[in-house]
Amino acid sequence: MELKSRREQLEPALARVARADLRELGDIRIDDVLLFIDRGLENMPSYMDLYRRWESQQWAVSDLDFGPDRENWLSASQLDKDATLWGRRLFFTGEERVTATLAPFVWAAPTPEIEVFLSTQMVDEARHTVFFDRWWREVVQTEAPDMRSLLEQVRPDVNEGYNTLFYERLPGIAQRMASDPRDLDAFIEGITIYHIVVEATLALTGQRFELESMRELGFTHFGFYQGFTAVARDESRHVNFGIKVLQEAVRQDPERFAPLIQRTLIECLPLISGTLEPPDPRYFTEFGRSHEELLQFAMTSLNKRLHAIGINLAA
- pLDDT over 80 at 196, yes or no: yes
Helix axes 78-101, 112-135, angle to 10 degrees: 150
At 25-81, the pLDDT tens digits run 999 999 999 988 877 677 789 999 999 999 999 999 999 999 999 999 999 999 999
- pLDDT over 80 at 2, yes or no: no
At 220-234, the pLDDT tens digits run 999 999 999 999 999
**pLDDT mean across residues, the chain:** 92
Q: Measure the CA–CA gap between 25 and 33, rounded to whole angstroms.
A: 10
**What is the pTM for the complete model shown?**
0.94
- pLDDT over 70 at 133, yes or no: yes
What domains are there in the chain, each with its CATH number?
2-309 (1.10.620.20)
At 237-267, the pLDDT tens digits run 999 999 999 999 999 999 999 999 999 999 9
Question: C-alpha dihedral over 13, 18, 21, 23, to 10 degrees?
Answer: 30
Q: Report the 3 state secondary structure along the chain.
A: CHHHHHHHHHHHHHHHHHHCCHHHHCCCCHHHHHHHHHHHHHCCCCHHHHHHHHHHCCCCHHHCCCHHHHHHHHHCCHHHHHHHHHHHHHHHHHHHHHHHHCHHHHHHCCCHHHHHHHHHHHHHHHHHHHHHHHHHHHHHCCCCCCHHHHHHHHCCCCCHHHHHHHHHHHHHHHHHHHHCCCCHHHHHHHHHHHHHHHHHHHHHHHHHHHHHHHHHCCCCCCHHHHHHHHHHHHHHHHHHHHHHHHHHHHHHCHHHHHHHHHHHHHHHHHHHHHHCCCCCCHHHHCCCCCHHHHHHHHHHHHHHHHHHHCCCCCC
Q: Measure the CA–CA gap between 175 and 311, rounded to whole angstroms.
A: 27
At 164-178, the pLDDT tens digits run 999 999 999 999 999
